[in-house]
Structure 1
C-alpha cells in the first residue's frame, strides 16, 4: 500500500518561505496532480518527497513508514524529469534497464522488466536503437519506461510533457494515464497546464504561494472552487467576477440585476464561468468588445459596468463588435466569494 502522507511540511530558503505547512494524503494508486503557476512551490514539494530537497519542517510518510530521513534510493520512488534525462550513448534497452543493472538484478529479470515496460509504452520496436536517435516523444516514453521498470511504490513526474508539441502532448496524456493505471502505481504529477491536470488527475491539488488552496476532483475544482484564486486560475477563459451588493433576504444586486445568493449580509463577489451564460431578454447588459470565432463556439469579450466579462456562445449566433447583449447566467452555476477572505460563500 503506497499511501503518501505529507504532514506539516514547510520549506525555507534563507528568508524566503517556499512552502507553508503542507498537509496532504494521497491514496494508494491515486493519480495526484500538483497544479499551479511558476514559483508556487509544486516542484519544491515534489523534490522533498523524492529526497532531492530537505524539508525545513514536517514529515513525509509512504506506506505507513516515515521516509524523509532516508536517501532517495531507499524511498521506493522513481522520478521522471522534464528534460527526459536519458543517456544518448546507450540503447533504449540499456536506458530502461540502467537502474535495474545498478541493483544487480539477474539478466533474465532485467530483460523481463525492460520488455514489459517497453511494451506498455509502445517502444518495444525501438529497444536496439540509441536514444540519441529518437524524437522527443520517444525519449519521454523511454524515461517513463525506465521509471516503471523499477517497479516503484511511487512515481513522481515533474512537467514531463512540457517539451513536447501540442498534438504529442495530447497523445501522451491519454497513454500515460492508461499505463499508470495498469501499473498500479501511486503517482504525483507536477504541471502548470490546466488541461493536463483536468484530463489526467484523480484529484488536483491547486497550489498558490507555497500553500495548497484546494485538493479535490477535477470537476469539483472546476465547478466549486474553494477560493477566489482557484476560480480565477482554473478555466480558459477563467471565471468572470462582478461586485454584488446585498439587498436583504439572500438577494444581491449585480450590474443592475437581482440574483438569489447566500444569506451573508455584506458585499460579495458574483462569479460565473463564460460558458454558463446564454443570450436572453433579461439578464446582465453587456457591450461586445471583441468577438473571436473558435469553431464550435464564439468567445465574446464584453464590458459589464466597466469590467471585462467573457461569454462563450454558440458559433451560429451573429454577434459583432459594439453589439449590446443581454446575458442570462445559469442560476445553479453562480458562485459567490467573500472579497475580504477570498473564500467561497455558500
Structure 2
C-alpha cells in the first residue's frame, strides 16, 4: 500500500507563506494531479512530499509511515523532473540502471528491470544509444523508465511534459496514463496545463494562493466547481459570470434574463455558465457578437452581454459575424451560482 496522507502541512519562506495548512489524502495507486498557476504552491507541496523541502508545520505519511523527518532516499519515491535530468555521457541502459546500481542490486535483476521498463516506454531499441543523441521525447521516456525501474511506492512528476511540442505531449500523455496504470504506482503529477490534468488524473487538486480549493474527479471539477476560482481557471475558454439580483421567491435577474435560482437571502449572486452550455434560441440573453473565431469543430464567439464580455461556443455551421445580435439560452442543468463575498458555490 502506498497511500499518501498530508496533514496540516504549511510552508513559509521568511514572511511569505507558500502553503496554508494543507490536508490531502491520495489513495493507493491513485493518479493525483496538483493543478494551478505559477506560484500557487504546487511544486512546493511536491518537494515537501519528496523530502526536498522541510515543512514549517504538519506531517507527511506514505504507506502508513510518517516520512517528513526522513531523507528522500528513505521515502520509497522516484521523481521525474521538467528538465529530464538524464546523464548525456551515459547510454540509455546506463541511465535506467543508475539508481539500481546505487542500490547494489545483482546484475541479473538490473538487466531484468531495465529491459522491462524500456519495453514499457517503447525505448528498448535505444538502450545502446547515448542520451545526448536522443530527442526530447525520447529523453523524457528514459527519465520515466529510470523512475519506474526503481519500483517505487510513489512517483512524483514535476511538469514532465512541458518542454515537449504539442503533438508529442499528446502522445506522451496517453503513454504515461497507460504505463502508470499498469505499474500500479501511486502518482502525484504537478502541472499548470489543465488539458494534461483533465486527461491524466483520477482526481485533480486545484490550488490557488497556497491552498487546495477543490480536490475531485476531472468531471466534478469541470461541471461542479466548488469556488469561482475553479470555474474561472478550469476550461478554455473559462466560465462566464454575470452578476444576478434577487427578485424574490427564488427568482433572479441576470442581465436581461430572469432565472430560477437558489432560495437565499443575499441580494446578489453570480450566475455562471460554461461557453459550450448555451444555445441560440429565442428568449435568452441579448448578446452582440464582437469577435468571431472559427476553430474547426466549433466557433468561439465573444459577445457583449449587459455591458460585459460573454463567450459562447457555437456549432461551426452557424454563420455569425461581428455586430450580429444573438439570443443565448443557458442550459438550465448547467447553470451554477456563486456567492460574490466568499466566492464559494451556493
Normalising by structure 1, we get a TM-score of 0.99
The aligned residue for residue 21 of structure 1 is: 21
1:122-271 residue pairs with structure 2 within 5 A? 122-266=122-266, 267-271=268-272
The aligned residue for residue 113 of structure 2 is: 113
Deviation at 1:24, TM superposition (A): 0.1
Structure 2 SS opposite 1:275: helix
1:241-263: CA deviation from partner (whole Å, max 9, x where unpaired):
00100111111011121101111
The aligned residue for residue 311 of structure 1 is: 312
**Cα distance between partner residues in 2 of 1:237 and 1:76:** 40
**Cα distance between partner residues in 1 of 2:82 and 2:227:** 29
Contact 2:300/2:313 (8 A) holds in 1: yes
The aligned residue for residue 327 of structure 1 is: 328
Deviation at 1:188, TM superposition (A): 0.1
Structure 2 SS opposite 1:104: coil
**Cα distance between partner residues in 2 of 1:296 and 1:130:** 43
Q: Does 1:286 align with 2:294?
A: no
**Cα distance between partner residues in 2 of 1:319 and 1:256:** 21
Deviation at 1:214, TM superposition (A): 0.1
Structure 1 SS opposite 2:276: coil
**Cα distance between partner residues in 2 of 1:132 and 1:252:** 62
Contact 2:278/2:329 (8 A) holds in 1: yes
Q: Does 1:67 align with 2:46?
A: no
**Cα distance between partner residues in 2 of 1:319 and 1:10:** 50
1:256-285: CA deviation from partner (whole Å, max 9, x where unpaired):
211011111221000000000010011100
1:125-160: CA deviation from partner (whole Å, max 9, x where unpaired):
000000000000000000000000000000000000
**Cα distance between partner residues in 2 of 1:216 and 1:78:** 25
Contact 2:288/2:303 (8 A) holds in 1: yes
Contact 2:256/2:306 (8 A) holds in 1: no
Number of residues of Structure 1 aligned to a counterpart in Structure 2? 345
The aligned residue for residue 3 of structure 1 is: 3
Structure 2 SS opposite 1:265: coil
Structure 2 SS opposite 1:115: helix
**Cα distance between partner residues in 2 of 1:167 and 1:330:** 34
**Cα distance between partner residues in 2 of 1:161 and 1:326:** 41
**Cα distance between partner residues in 2 of 1:3 and 1:103:** 24
**Cα distance between partner residues in 1 of 2:6 and 2:45:** 9
**Cα distance between partner residues in 1 of 2:345 and 2:261:** 12
Deviation at 1:296, TM superposition (A): 1.1
**Cα distance between partner residues in 2 of 1:121 and 1:92:** 12
The aligned residue for residue 78 of structure 1 is: 78
1:111-134: CA deviation from partner (whole Å, max 9, x where unpaired):
000000000000000000000000
**Cα distance between partner residues in 1 of 2:46 and 2:319:** 48
Gapped runs of 5+ residues in structure 2?
none
The aligned residue for residue 339 of structure 1 is: 340
Contact 2:289/2:303 (8 A) holds in 1: yes
Structure 1 SS opposite 2:241: strand
**Cα distance between partner residues in 2 of 1:156 and 1:241:** 36
